[in-house]
Amino acid sequence: MTKKVAVILSGCGVYDGAEIHESVITLLRLDQRGAQVQCFAPNIAQMHVIDHLTGEEMPESRNVLVESARIARGEVKDIREAKVEDFDALIVPGGFGAAKNLSNFAVEGANCTVQPDVLALAEAFAGACKPVGLICISPALAAKIYGPGVVCTIGTDADTSAAVVKMGGTHEECDVHDIVEDTQRKLVTTPAYMLAKSISEAAGGIYKLVDRVLELTHEGDK
């Protein structure tokens, strides 16, 4: 039975949107495993725009949904159209967009809030006990979605893991090639470019995450 997976993108580009390698690896693995995928993104302005050549902020404005369409080859919908009952699982790639556009974690840290439409969808998956995969910096939002006690990883970064703990999460250090699973909540996380030194290193953990998320969708299948 074909599984349907929603993927939330946060723009296009590691410094101000979705991490492109992580996003493409996720979409590739889902396709390789025969999943049916629909990308979503919030229809909002980015926090800011970064010149990826120089790392400097640019004096312009871009839309998260429009920029996400670059990665999704135009096949992306406003996240407000997403309905949890239409999907078996949810995956959120990383990149600073997760901490700048899907939330304000990059600015507020442990005091952050999640963008309302993103939070509503993620909470719906959590409430339905459907598998969720959070990649790279995205697990920093886990405690805001699941509440205190949620188990996740962002790798080994001390400051970020401390923020996760301050928000009520339980952080487990994790190698770039591996995943951490909260079995009670069906949440799977992996560090990816929080630790990866190459695209193939990032791919190792992301492939494991996608595979495990899809395995969890089959629990209870007859």
| Residues classed as catalytic | 136
Cα 178 to Cα 155: distance, rounded to the nearest angstrom: 9
Assigned token pair, 10: 């946060």
At 89, is the secondary structure helix, strand, or coil? strand
The CA-atom distances, in angstroms, between 53 and each of 13, 48, 58, 99, 154 are 11, 15, 11, 20, 26
Cα 96 to Cα 36: distance, rounded to the nearest angstrom: 26
At 16, is the secondary structure helix, strand, or coil? coil
Element (H, E) at 134: strand 132-135
